[in-house]
Each structure stands twice: as C-alpha cells, then as structure tokens.
Amino acid sequence: MKKIEIEKTDDNIIGVFASFGYGETNKELIKEYLWGVNGLKNQFSSLKWQDYGTDLILILFQFNVNPIPYLRENLKEIESYRRKEKSIGIPAILDDENFFQLNKNEQWNFLNAKIIEKLELVKEKVRRDKLDFNIDRLIMDVRKICGEKASS
C-alpha cells in the first residue's frame, strides 16, 4: 500500500485534496470549488486546529473525481487516525450521479452537506480514540459557515 506523507503548510484544521482520472474533463471545475477564491479551502480558512484541541491538526477531505470502479469499491468511509501526523483522511466521491448533473447551488449544497456528514464520522473516531479535540465545536462552526455559504 502506498504511504502518503502530508506536509502541513498552514494551521487550518480542514484541508482538501482531489484525485482525478486521466483525461478528466471536470478538473478545472473541481479546482475552483476546492481552491478558488470562494472555494472550500478559503471557506474554512478561519478554522484553526489550535482552537479545537491538540490531538488533531488536519482533517483532509480527499475528493475522488469519477474514480475507477476498483478505487470506488475500495474506498473507506473514513481512514484511520494517523497518530504521528495527527490527521484523518476522509474520502468522498464526486461523479455524474451525485454531483455533476446538479446546478451550481445544488453542487455547493452537496459539498457542504457531505463535509458535515463526514465530520459526524470523525466525531465517532474522536470519541472512540479518546482524542483531545472538540469535534462538536468544529461541527457547529462548519455548520455556521456552510449556512452562510448557502444563503449567499
């Protein structure tokens, strides 16, 4: 299994990553949603890991765009807690069935709902692993930001 090293370049608790297949036609659209001026990275940039505890410094949302069937079948709902890196990876699939057929507002709603849904999985992992991390506060802060995004 390939090991992924994460280099932390800022103190944002939420990070985003995208995996594209060869010849992916929606690459620029996804880049805009993730890293554009109004993208998820900027949307959550006010959420700093220091405000929530010491055991988790990165929750990395890994967006797999139109993944091949093998990858789709083998993605976990949430990855294991990486104690050394103090991070958790959260795979999510974006494809024609759940994302690309939606209009722009529906796409934003989908992304925001997916992030909140996946943070609920992190909540279980934080409790099970007894991590020093206020996940309830993070979820509340994310919901507030997502609500602001939905109404703008």
The pTM (predicted TM-score) of the whole model is 0.87
The predicted pLDDT at position 148 comes to 63
* Regions in the chain scoring below 50 on pLDDT: 1-8, 150-152
59 contact partners, CB below 8 Å, separation of at least 6: 13, 14, 15, 87, 88, 90, 119, 122
CB 121 within 8 A of CB 81: no
The predicted pLDDT at position 149 comes to 55
Q: Which two tokens stand for residue 73?
A: 């079948």
The predicted pLDDT at position 110 comes to 95
Chain-centroid distance of CA 46 in Å reads 15
The predicted pLDDT at position 71 comes to 87
